[in-house]
Amino acid sequence: DAKTTQPPSMDCAEGRAANLPCNHSTISGNEYVYWYRQIHSQGPQYIIHGLKNNETNEMASLIITEDRKSSTLILPHATLRDTAVYYCIAALYNNNDMRFGAGTRLTVKP
């Protein structure tokens, strides 16, 4: 699986958009980009995934560059409850072998 690189931490003001970057320059053609988050000590929660097209769901948007070497997770209106560690993972579609890195600790501030 491709290795991903994320900034260790980011801050965001409540109500503003949170843009979390991820670098996956060695991603292969059949690997998807998945995003999960872990709030405090809870189990990780799936957010969104994509292959090469931009994706949007009720939680977030995923923007993948045309060369697929990087992506950005966008939380359009961050709330305090979005404070969590966000993990970007490159893995095959059946995601049986998810490799979690250190992630980005997002802190949403009032």
Partner 1 sequence: DTAVSQTPKYLVTQMGNDKSIKCEQNLGHDTMYWYKQDSKKFLKIMFSYNNKELIINETVPNRFSPKSPDKAHLNLHINSLELGDSAVYFCASSLTGTGMYEQYFGPGTRLTVT
Residues forming contacts to partner 1 in the complex (CB under 8 A) are: 32, 34, 36, 38, 41-46, 49, 85, 87, 93-100, 102
Q: How far is the CB of 72 from partner 1 (least distance, A)?
A: 19
The residues, ordered by sequence, that sit 6+ positions from 32 with a Cβ below 8 Å of its Cβ are 49, 50, 51, 90, 91, 92, 93, 95
Nearest to 5 by CA among 28, 24, 31, 18: 24
Nearer to partner 1, 14 or 55 (CB): 55
Nearer to partner 1, 18 or 36 (CB): 36
Nearer to partner 1, 13 or 92 (CB): 92
Q: How far is the CB of 43 from partner 1 (least distance, A)?
A: 3
Assigned token pair, 15: 């109500």
Nearer to partner 1, 49 or 69 (CB): 49
Assigned token pair, 23: 């670098």
Nearest to 5 by CA among 30, 26, 29, 19: 26
Q: How far is the CB of 15 from partner 1 (least distance, A)?
A: 28
Q: How far is the CB of 50 from partner 1 (least distance, A)?
A: 10
- Judged on CB neighbours under 10 Å (0-12, 13-18, 19+), 9 is exposed
